[in-house]
């Protein structure tokens, strides 16, 4: 199967898992909002979980709740990111954002709920032994905390008197975007109980490349394809990888990082092909 077909197939599995999750819950509007928020998207983080697990011999049945958990946590971060108090966005994944479709209180609570559901999903014994699940829970708790700090730094940067330096932006993004991506790509190693170091190197480079691509898309992307408002960073006066490096510089940096990510997977040989394609996709994507 092609990379695109595999990405779609894994996305569909994750979507079905989430649908089943919500089918077992009451039909309250706040749950509807969560189901809505966790629908769609590329599901790249879930894909990284599924693929890192497969590469290391973990069965899909065990990896699926882990993939759904990260997509649930990521969806929470997007719902809150789009709130008027943060990026004030009305469009996400081609549809109205949760606070527009429902209201702000529902969006805050839906985000809160999705975060706790993510951790509940990680407690499923089908994932593996209790110590494996505890490692996953601890890692995700830390990554989610790092994401929150990165988001806070990102918001503060909008009103900073002095624009951030490249070092500061790199640190900020490692929290804001990098931490959840790193957790996703190393989850397979945690489940298989093998050394996560090579996957960690891959993920660090990939996470940075991912945010550089997001910043490039904000400038050059097509809103219809991206499914979200673009040109928001420059309007907000944000220092991004593009504002600091220029478009060509940002593209070159992203390409170099993808080469680094690929090199990190050398120990896995041919089995790493899907993760290598995922890295290439990360910087060539249009959404």
Q: Candidates 23-31, 50-58, 84-92, 115-123: pick the segment binding Mg ion (CB under 5 A).
A: 84-92
In this chain, which of 10, 71, 135, 214 binds Mg ion, going by CB under 5 A?
214
In this chain, which of 43, 64, 70, 81 binds Mg ion, going by CB under 5 A?
81
Binds 42, which of Mg ion, ligand IPE, none (CB < 5 to 8 A, cut-off by type)? ligand IPE
**Residues whose CB falls within 8 Å of the CB of residue 239, separated by 6 or more in sequence, listed in order:** 157, 160, 163, 164, 169
Binds 177, which of ligand IPE, Mg ion, none (CB < 5 to 8 A, cut-off by type)? ligand IPE
Residue nearest to ligand IPE (CB): 41
Q: For the packed helices 104-121 and 130-158, what is the interaxial angle rounded to 10 degrees?
A: 150
Nearest to 189 by CA among 203, 175, 178, 179: 203
Give the nearest distance from C-beta 240 to ligand IPE in angstroms: 8
Nearest to 206 by CA among 136, 287, 286, 276: 276
Distance of CA 200 to the CA centre of its chain: 15
Give the nearest distance from C-beta 239 to Mg ion in angstroms: 13
Which residue reads 């997509």 in tokens?
71
Phi, psi of 56 (to 5 degrees): -105, 15
> Cβ closer to Mg ion: 11 or 157?
157
Give the nearest distance from C-beta 267 to ligand IPE in angstroms: 27
Q: Which stretches of the chain bind ligand IPE, using CB under 6 A?
A: 41-42, 44, 74, 77-78, 81, 87, 93, 147, 151, 176-177, 211, 214, 228
What is the spatial distance between Cα 165 and Cα 135, in angstroms, rounded to a whole number?
34
The answer to whether 157 and 240 are in contact (CB under 8 A) is: no
Contacts with Mg ion by CB under 5 A lie at 81, 87, 214
């Amino acid at each position: 199967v092609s990379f695109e077909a595999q990405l779609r197939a894994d996305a569909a599995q994750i979507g079905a898992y989430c649908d089943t999750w919500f089918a077992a819950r009451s039909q309250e509007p706040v749950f509807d909002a969560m189901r809505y928020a966790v629908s769609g998207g590329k599901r790249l983080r879930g894909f990284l979980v599924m693929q890192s697990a497969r590469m290391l011999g973990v069965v899909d049945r065990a990896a699926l709740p882990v993939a759904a958990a990260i997509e649930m946590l990521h969806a929470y971060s997007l719902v809150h990111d789009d709130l008027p108090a943060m990026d004030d966005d009305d469009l996400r994944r081609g549809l109205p954002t949760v606070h527009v479709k429902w209201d702000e209180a529902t969006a805050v609570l839906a985000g809160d709920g999705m975060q706790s559901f993510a951790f509940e999903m990680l407690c499923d014994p089908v994932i593996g032994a209790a110590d494996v699940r505890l490692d996953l829970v601890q890692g995700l708790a830390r990554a989610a905390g790092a994401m929150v700090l990165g988001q806070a730094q990102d918001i503060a940067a909008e009103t900073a008197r002095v624009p951030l330096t490249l070092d500061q932006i790199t640190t900020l993004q490692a929290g804001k975007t990098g931490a959840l991506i790193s957790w996703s790509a190393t989850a397979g190693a945690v489940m298989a109980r093998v050394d996560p170091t090579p996957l960690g190197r891959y993920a660090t480079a990939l996470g940075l490349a991912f945010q550089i691509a997001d910043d490039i898309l904000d400038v050059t992307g097509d809103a219809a394809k991206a499914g979200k408002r673009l040109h928001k960073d420059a309007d907000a006066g944000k220092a991004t990888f593009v504002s600091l490096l220029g478009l060509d510089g940002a593209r070159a940096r992203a390409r170099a990082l993808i080469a680094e990510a690929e090199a990190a997977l050398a120990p896995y040989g041919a089995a790493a092909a899907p993760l290598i394609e995922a890295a290439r996709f990360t910087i060539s994507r249009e959404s």
